[in-house]
Amino acid sequence: METVVIAGLGLIGGSLARNIQMHKQVHLIGVDQRESTLEYALKHEIIDEASSSFQEAAHKADIIILAAPVSKSVELLQELDNMKLEKDVLVTDVSSVKGPIFQQAASLQSDKVFFVGGHPMAGSHKHGIEASKAHLFENAIYVLTPVQRAKESDIKRVENLLDGTKSTFITLSAEEHDEMTGVVSHFPHLIASALVQQAKKWEAKHSFLPKLAAGGFRDITRIASSNPGMWQDIFFQNKEKMGILLDDWIEEMQAFRKLLAEDQGQQIHTYLEEAKQYRDGLEPRKKGAIPGYYDLYVDITDRPGALQKVLTIVADAGLSIVNIHILELREGLTGVLRLSFSEQKIQLKAKGVLEVFGYEVKIED
Ligand SMILES: NC(=O)C1=CN([C@@H]2O[C@H](COP(=O)(O)OP(=O)(O)OC[C@H]3O[C@@H](n4cnc5c(N)ncnc54)[C@H](O)[C@@H]3O)[C@@H](O)[C@H]2O)C=CC1
Ligand SMILES: O=C(O)C(=O)Cc1ccc(O)cc1
């Protein structure tokens, strides 16, 4: 039986551990610096064996998944390179930035260590093993960044180990990956936090301001509630791309400010119109590295059990929901429930069945 070591049993490492445990016959060793995390993982049978020593676990490993913060995973790969291993080990990681770990992997000295980088493009604003879920990566894009000397069979072994995640594997260079995730993940995170900082600043003048923060503000700033330690690490690890995007952004905002000052209404309209068209075109599976879903918007009332009722109707029809989001539900008013499905076929069936029960259902927001 193969031995798989997961180093860093947080949200992502824990979710992969749960998934592998569910789908594969392997001996799973979890490594973490936090004793309480290892105890939790053993207690919930997420792993078969716990170790607080990466070195000790690595000697037993056939495959290692590095799932610590990006900078720590780079250090662990370096540590591995300095170990005197008896058998070959295939290493993958989950880091949100690929450049630094790729560089480390490309300069590996050990002839026992083989590396295929990885990044599951799904997550949550939560962290830690308690938030981990076996199905976290379902329908997500899983980027692989193999180093030049990686064999096709190494890539296949990583894909095979992780095929229970039901994600879609794509291969990119580390450079392409960091540029694209910079644009659609890392930089937007900074903007979300900056918007919240701006609101916080203005609250000093208007104490009522937070109460006016409506659905739009909440939607666009959702990711500002993520793990600050992890994001600080990501920004530094992708420093060069973040710098380029920041310059780009500042220039664009200055251009916008000029349009506003010069009363260029038509140009501002065009700017907004182009953005709307591009955003509307980011339809499920049509575009973008981050997969979209087939969404339904269901009008529900703020009554106890309203949500439960909708979910029961969909479940009774044998249709599985991949994501649920309540967009806005204010006391006494109706609100919108967004249900996401993996296929259009399922989305349309759910729409039909909910309409039979008298719900107002829309495909687009
Ligand atoms: N949170 C998210 O939405 C996503 C995160 N990622 C990447 O996954 C990695 C882990 O992130 P999360 O699971 O969210 O963080 P987390 O904070 O939930 O988990 C990190 C775990 O690593 C452990 N750890 C830290 N240093 C260690 C070391 N030297 N040796 C062993 N364990 C160590 C921590 O104790 C913790 O249990 C990061 O590289 C992140 O960029 C990738 C996709 C999504
Ligand atoms: O919740 C969200 O929208 C995310 O952005 C999750 C996420 C965080 C970090 C990643 O590297 C990939 C995905």
Q: Are residues 7 and 110 in the same domain?
A: yes
Q: Are residues 19 and 167 in the same domain?
A: yes
Write down which residue in 121, 142, 172 finishes a domain.
172
CB 2 within 8 A of CB 63: yes
Alpha-carbon distance values, 23 to 97, 120, 179 (Å): 27, 17, 33
Any idea which ligand is nearest the CA of 71? 1
Phi, psi of 93 (to 5 degrees): -140, 180
Tokens of 341: 């499905």
**Model confidence, pTM:** 0.84
Residue 330 predicted with pLDDT over 60: no
Task: Give, in degrees to the nearest 5, the angle at Cα 78 between 75 and 83.
Answer: 125
Q: What value does the mean pLDDT take over residues 102-129?
A: 94
Residue 89 predicted with pLDDT over 70: yes
**Ligand 1, closest atom to CA 14?**
13
Write down which residue in 245, 261, 277 finishes a domain.
261
Q: Are residues 20 and 163 in the same domain?
A: yes
CATH code of the domain in which 233 resides = 1.10.3660.10
Atom 1, ligand 2: which residue's CA is nearest? 124
What confidence tens digit (pLDDT) does each residue in 96-105 have? 999 999 999 9
Higher pLDDT, 338 or 132: 132
Q: Are residues 143 and 85 in the same domain?
A: yes
**Does any domain span residue 128?**
yes
**Does any domain span residue 334?**
yes
Higher pLDDT, 331 or 62: 62
**Ligand 2, closest atom to CA 226?**
1
What confidence tens digit (pLDDT) does each residue in 189-223 have? 999 999 999 999 999 999 999 999 877 898 899 89
CATH code of the domain in which 143 resides = 3.40.50.720
Cα(7) to centroid(ligand 2), Å: 20
What percentage of the chain exceeds 90 in pLDDT? 76
Q: Are residues 12 and 108 in the same domain?
A: yes
Q: Which helix (H) or strand (E) holds 146?
A: strand 141-146
Residue 224 predicted with pLDDT over 90: yes
Q: Are residues 24 and 164 in the same domain?
A: yes
Residue 284 predicted with pLDDT over 50: yes
**Does any domain span residue 270?**
no
Q: What is the domain count for the chain? A: 3
Q: Are residues 210 and 116 in the same domain?
A: no
Residue 365 predicted with pLDDT over 60: no
Q: Are residues 137 and 237 in the same domain?
A: no
CB 310 within 8 A of CB 351: no
| Cβ–ligand 1 contact at 12 (below 6 Å) | yes
Whole-number average pLDDT of the chain: 91
Cα(88) to centroid(ligand 2), Å: 32
| Cβ–ligand 1 contact at 131 (below 6 Å) | no
ipTM of this model? Answer: 0.98
Atom 33, ligand 1: which residue's CA is nearest? 8
Q: Are residues 40 and 92 in the same domain?
A: yes
Q: Are residues 202 and 89 in the same domain?
A: no
**Euclidean distance between CA atoms 338 and 343, whole angstroms:** 15
Q: Are residues 316 and 354 in the same domain?
A: yes
Residue 24: which domain range?
3-172
Atom 23, ligand 1: which residue's CA is nearest? 8
Q: What value does the mean pLDDT take over residues 279-307?
A: 69
Higher pLDDT, 328 or 248: 248
Q: What value does the mean pLDDT take over residues 120-131?
A: 91
**Does any domain span residue 277?**
no
**Does any domain span residue 240?**
yes
Q: What value does the mean pLDDT take over residues 232-246?
A: 98
Write down which residue in 146, 172, 198 finishes a domain.
172
pLDDT band at 293 (very low <50, low <70, confident <90, very high): confident
Name the residue of 46, 119, 230 to mutate for ligand 1: max ligand atoms within 8 A of Cβ: 230
pLDDT at 332: 42
Residue 333 predicted with pLDDT over 60: no
Any idea which ligand is nearest the CA of 120? 1
Residue 37 predicted with pLDDT over 90: yes
Any idea which ligand is nearest the CA of 13? 1
**Euclidean distance between CA atoms 220 and 237, whole angstroms:** 24
